[in-house]
Chains A and B, each alone.
Chain A
Amino acid sequence: MTELYDAPVAARDDNAPVIDAQDIRIWYGSERGPVKAVDGVSFSLRKGEILGLVGESGCGKSTIGRGLLGLLPPGAEMDGALRFKGEDLLALPKKEMFAKRGAELGMIFQEPLTRLNPLMRISEHFEETLRTHEKSIGKEEIQRRALEVLRLMGIPPTRYRSYPHEFSGGMRQRLMIALALVLRPAFVVADEPTTALDVLVEAQIIRILHSLRSEFETSLLLITHNLGIIAEACDRVAVMYAGEIVEIGDAREVFSDPQHPYTRELLRSTISLSTTGLNFIPGAPPDLVNPPTGCHFHPRCPDAMNICATRHPVQHAMPNGTRVQCWAADLAHGRAPDLTEDDTAPLVREEISVADEA
């Protein structure tokens, strides 16, 4: 029992990253060539930290989440360096990766309605999960531990033997969270955990996720396309566009002083009481088989310069502590001293006509 709460030595050092991803690349095979769904992504999370990952749909968020847990479908390739508590996950044999999944690395999915086996009672889900990772665990111990997390999620113990279909969507998501947390994993990916739920339930789930760090000391990668959730729950935020992280930093800094034009546009396009109209970013995210040359965002970028269409920007630290991958931000903060006047001239391009967009 006690060893459960005794975190391994490496994680005791609060500054050592729990998860450290460097230059992660993930491709899917397709008839048209590899889909570069994740293209050189780096970030790390400390113990109890919540990192939000935002971006339009199709930019590779779920792919990262799956990749971190080794859950990519057949036909997908991944490289880069991925360390969990100092251990190289990509070099791990399949069997050991299975042992880590559920016990140390957890996953919460978007669609709670279909993620529980309809033929199995909630109790059976817990029994299966706990027995997989702790071979000799007894039935009473399983129930005690399951009921403990269920209580934290606000599920009454009387429902322990119910079937999934007897619960509402919000309750099922809380069940999924309970199931993901029963073994107290150090790192959890939550992939759009509230997208399928209504707003009131959403707030409740976010509160629960936010409280994980105090209850479980879990590090959380919270994937969402809802900036409101990030503002509410996250310490840091990474903004993703077309398979790349274009801006990453302290959540407050990123929100109050966005450096990347995409972040700015994304913030402007969220509905809030102060905005009168609904903004949207013209155009659509690019094709990930043949992404645009230079900066992937340049065809849609209001600040695009000539250089943006030809040379890919490099991630630089900004004065406010965030890291940004953008020529315009580099120029504004003197991070790109060797740009010529022609490089920095506004990009001339054909107007995106309405017909093109349709």
Chain B
Amino acid sequence: MSSGSGSLPRYIAQRLLLMIPMIWLIVTMVFILLRVAPGDPVTAAVGGKLNEEALDARRAALGLDRPLIVQYLDYLGDIATLDFGKTISDNRPITSIIVDNGGATLSLTIGAFAFALLMGIPLGLLAGRYRDSAGDVVIRIFGVVSYAAPIFFIGLLMQIWVAGPLGLPTSDIASPITKFQVEPVTHILLLDAIIAGDTESTVDVLKHHVLPCFTLGLLLSGVFIRLVRVNLLMTLKGDYVEAARARGIPERYVIRRHAFRNALVPVITVLGLQVALTLSGALLTESTFNWPGLGTQLIDYLTARDYAAVQGLVTFFAVVVVVVSLLVDVINAAIDPRVRY
């Protein structure tokens, strides 16, 4: 390639370096927010259940009796070694929560993205291609409604109207038998069932995924429909599209090669930006469908007022968002050569 082109490895290195201050900022904010919350974490979580000495012992064990700055530096050190701490209420390492429950959230969000892209991209392209047609209007309304409708409401509709006729389960990630039978290897139940070669369990897990993934995917598809439609309209008016027509390139190729492709580039960026929205959506979806993921865990620990657990989990969520954004940027740079500058 020519000399002016930025190299991909260098770009990745730059982005990796940039990640460090981002994560530091988030971690610090989480730390401060939870410390300024009234009451001390131990009393909040297990106060009333233990006597004063036991509480003091707990505080000492968690290092809460040390100066704030020491706690902060200690916490930073832990995060750097990927140690997110322990819960107060049941003294469980956050890392083990992530390992045990992260898989369910992961498969839920990936499934939701798959649904969202499968619905959002074709519908967005159609709406943009046949702008102002009846189809366009219907798709646009669908996009707005699916984005605006509350997750628990859609979830409820699914549970009442869709689950029955299609014979789909409305709760949990698998039936108890499946959970009992499948050996945890990756801690992603679907993968584990496939690895075990257990068709029955695989189908069972897949069936459990349909409604939650669709519900969360619907929310995201609204974002993609609008994004793809607007992008397509813009590229269709673009200078290089007109120039391609002026070279006699037939309209269907102009649309396919020049407009569609270019309209889809920003989708990848937005995909990255939607990770935060997806995680918050996943939280609600999980509680609607009783899904054993990180969201349910977070809500449980929030209800238990277990600050240490909340701090650990929120920090983990934040790190995920940052890492995924980085990944998206790198993919973007690989596709669009202009980004590398």
Contact = CB atoms under 8 A, between A and B. Distances in A.
Interface of A: 69, 71, 98-103, 106-107, 109, 111, 114-120, 128-129, 132-133, 158-159, 161-163, 165-166, 176, 179-180
Contacts of B245: 71, 101
Contacts of B238: 114
Nearest to B240: A117
Contact of B2 (A99, A119, A162): A162
B248 A109 contact: no
A225 B265 CA distance: 37
Interface residues of B, number: 28
B5 A109 contact: no
A114 B239 contact: yes
Say whether chain A's binding surface is mostly helix, strand, loop, or mixed.
mixed
Contacts of B242: 71, 109, 115
Given A71-B242, A115-B243, A166-B5, A129 B249 contact: yes
Nearest to B235: A117
Contact of A109 (B239, B258, B338): B239
Contacts of A162: 1-2, 5
3 interchain residue pairs of minimum CB distance:
A102-B248, A101-B248, A102-B247
A116 B246 CA distance: 12
Contacts of A129: 247-249
Contact of B246 (A71, A163, A166): A71
Contacts of A100: 248
A117 B248 contact: no
B244 interface: yes
Contacts of B249: 98, 102, 128-129, 132
B90 interface: no
Interface string B215-259: 000000000000000000000001110111111111101000110
Interface of B: 1-2, 4-5, 238-240, 242-251, 253, 257-258, 261-262, 265, 335-338, 341
A165 to B, nearest CB: 5
A69 B242 CA distance: 12
A98 B243 contact: no
A133 B247 CA distance: 9
Nearest to A121: B337
Contact of B243 (A103, A109, A118): A109
B129 to A, nearest CB: 14
B254 to A, nearest CB: 10
A95 to B, nearest CB: 8
Given A102-B248, A163-B337, A116 B240 contact: yes
B258 A117 contact: yes
A117 to B, nearest CB: 5
B269 to A, nearest CB: 14
A117 B246 contact: no
Contacts of A102: 246-249
A128 B240 contact: no
Contacts of B257: 117, 120, 128
A185 B72 CA distance: 72
28 contacts: A71-B242, A71-B245, A98-B248, A98-B250, A98-B251, A101-B246, A102-B246, A102-B247, A106-B246, A106-B247, A109-B243, A111-B239, A117-B240, A117-B257, A118-B262, A118-B336, A118-B338, A119-B265, A119-B335, A120-B257, A132-B250, A132-B253, A133-B248, A163-B337, A163-B338, A165-B338, A166-B2, A176-B243
